[in-house]
Amino acid sequence: MKEQLKKIEELAKAELASCTEIKSLDELRIRYLGKKGELTAILKQMGKLSAEERPVVGQLANKVRADIEEALSEKLSALKASAQAAKIAAESIDITLPGKPQTIGKLHPLSKVENEIRDIFMGMGFNIADGPEVDDDYHVFEALNLPPDHPARDTQDTFYINDKILLRTQTSSVQVHVMETQKPPIRIISPGRVYRSDAVDATHSPLFHQIEGLVVDKGIKMSDLKGTLEMLMKKLYGNNCKLRFRPHHFPFTEPSCEVDIMCFNCGGKGCSMCKDEGYIELLGAGMVHPKVLEGCGIDSSIYSGFAFGLGLERMVMGRYSINDLRLLYENDVRFLEQF
């Protein structure tokens, strides 16, 4: 019987050594140590033994059981460890591989130049004002000294919603909104979209952007307008840029002017970009008409002001030598990437 026990231990250990799966360990345990297992079968025959032999064999049997159990649990931990190692190896990430680059968007050139202009004016103590893009006839025209039959209305082909409501054709409407709600001193700019019923070509679009400026205070003069605009353009285009103020007419400013900048391309000599003029028109401006001030409840005998409206697209096109306005709206990434 002792031999049988030894044999069982040897066989169990040999089988265990060649085990590679946790599942087969369980089978092995049942086969050797289970109720119907080989070791149990031997113990059942213990009755046949003599009183002296019984404790010796019993002890040996217990030892064999303990040994096999220990070997089983050792093997179990070894198999678990190698399964874990294999899992880690299979799931590991190779951090030396190059990552997938993320393409980061950037600001549209219109936004970039608008932000620059905002910063320059904020530096001069201006606030930013906002106004509605869908507005009424009063704020876009009438309050700006453009009564219903005024011929200057014809130059702004307007999108009407109905007789009274329209898409604003100029940010000058914000002048009125601001003067209705704020008392002088007023110092604001108002960037925004405007709409005119124009056919699309290289220099026209039914939607474009203006930046309105308005200053109202005691003793504001034309020279303040000149100084402000010169400061803006020098900051934007460098100290060598040259402005030209030409007399013009706007119903809501008196006197009025248009302001041109010396052509970026030819330096005033004349080229295709400036249509041989040497200068490029940038904006309209003037001293706020007393009628406009009075209409907004501001006493024109005490206060005066200047206003200007500049075309953002034109500034951007000059800045980056873009010769077709449509490029700014097509959102072709190959174009936008360049700024």
Binding interface with ligand PHE (CB under 6 A): 170, 172, 250, 253, 284-286, 307-309
CB of 9 or CB of 135, closer to ligand PHE: 135
Nearest to 282 by CA among 223, 329, 237: 237
In the bound complex, which residue of the shown chain has the CB atom lying closest to ligand PHE?
309
CB of 57 or CB of 285, closer to ligand PHE: 285
39 to 14, 75, 118: CA distances (angstroms): 16, 20, 92
CB of 285 or CB of 293, closer to ligand PHE: 285
Q: Is 21 helix (H, G, I), strand (E, B) or coil?
A: coil
CB of 184 or CB of 284, closer to ligand PHE: 284
Q: Which long-range contacts (CB under 8 A, 24 or more apart) does 178-182 make?
A: 178/129, 178/131, 178/214, 179/214, 179/216, 179/292, 179/293, 179/296, 179/297, 179/298, 180/296, 180/297
Smallest distance from ligand PHE to CB 336, Å:
27
State how far the Cα of 171 lies from the Cα of 210, in Å rounded to an integer.
6
Smallest distance from ligand PHE to CB 210, Å:
6
State how far the Cα of 184 lies from the Cα of 175, in Å rounded to an integer.
12
Smallest distance from ligand PHE to CB 248, Å:
8
CB of 32 or CB of 195, closer to ligand PHE: 195
Q: DSSP state, 99? A: P
Tokens for 199, please give them: 């056919």
Q: DSSP state, 160? A: B
Smallest distance from ligand PHE to CB 221, Å:
15
CB of 145 or CB of 172, closer to ligand PHE: 172
Strands 304-311 and 207-217, sheet pairing: antiparallel
Strands 253-262 and 243-250, sheet pairing: antiparallel
Smallest distance from ligand PHE to CB 109, Å:
21
CB of 64 or CB of 285, closer to ligand PHE: 285
Smallest distance from ligand PHE to CB 307, Å:
4
State how far the Cα of 325 lies from the Cα of 321, in Å rounded to an integer.
11
Smallest distance from ligand PHE to CB 297, Å:
19
